[in-house]
Amino acid sequence: MQCRQCGTEIADKAIVCFRCGASTTDPVRKAVPIKKGRPWLLVVVVVALLLVALYLWMFSRTAANAELPELAAGVALGAAAVVLLIGLARRR
């Protein structure tokens, strides 16, 4: 195929032109369109869950029966991680 930038004949499987460096395909990362969703909501939820986890963890340090708050802290922490991952995956 031909480089669409400089017209040099390059291999069909080439990702970039060896001469001018132009990519042979459209850039994978296109300009990210402004989402109409609520990106701040994700941050708020994650921060809130992290705060809950922190609070429960601190509470479990002083509580006589630390198992339950520790478990809840773990669940909140896990939920924060899941929300964050889902949010990040959706952005792509």
Locate all alpha helices (DSSP H) within 1-92, ordered by sequence: 39-62, 67-91
Question: Among 4-12, 42-50, 57-65, 68-76, which window interacts with Zn ion (CB under 5 A)?
Answer: 4-12
Establish if 1 lies at the interface with Zn ion (CB under 5 A).
no
Site size toward Zn ion, by CB under 5 A: 8
CB-nearer residue toward Zn ion: 16 or 77 = 16
Interacting positions 5-64 with Zn ion (CB under 5 A): 5-6, 8, 17, 19-20, 22
Quick one: CA torsion of 66, 67, 73, 76, rounded to 10 degrees?
Answer: -150
Rg (CA), the chain: 24
Tokens at residue 81, please?
Answer: 């991680």
Residues that bind Zn ion (CB under 5 A): 3, 5-6, 8, 17, 19-20, 22
